[in-house]
Amino acid sequence: MNASQQGLRAASPAPGAGGAPELNPEQIAMLRGLRKGALLPQLLRTYRDQVPQQLANMAAAAAAGDIATLGGVAHSLKSASYSIGATRMGDLCAAIETAVRQGDNAAGPSQCAALAAAWERLRPELEGYLPP
């Protein structure tokens, strides 16, 4: 086992508040097996560091009625979320994208609030996969 793999915790972190894991265990296992374990912490750190700004950008766009920006950021966050196994976050972003395509900007603020709440459930679990 190399240093990168040793830094990752062997056991899965505690599941989210609902009892089910926020991160897909199969996706995490697949990512853990890539690049001798070095890819998973890199992806999770990048995701963790970028999500707060993306959420802020989405909330500002929703408040301003800028559905083009809202949809673009939602698309980017959706892809990143699915790539690390954050399915709930990805699904919420997909719902925002659908609303944007349908021209529904009224739901934007509430959808952004739901996404921010999902991030708060996901973050502790994600942190549990990172080395101390």
pLDDT means per 10 residues in the chain (132 residues)?
Answer: 41 56 95 93 97 97 94 97 98 95 87 96 96 87
| pTM metric for this prediction | 0.84
The confidence score (pLDDT) of residue 99 equals 93
The DSSP symbol for 46 reads: H
The confidence score (pLDDT) of residue 7 equals 42
CA 74/CA 126 separation, integer angstroms: 20
Nearest to 102 by CA among 115, 111, 114, 89: 111
- Is residue 16 within 8 A of residue 126, CB to CB? The reply is no
User: 35-48 as b/e, with b when 16 or more CB fall inside 10 Å?
Assistant: eebbebbebbeebb
**The token pair that represents 51 in the structure block:** 């999500």
CA 13/CA 27 separation, integer angstroms: 14
- Is residue 50 within 8 A of residue 104, CB to CB? The reply is no
The confidence score (pLDDT) of residue 8 equals 43
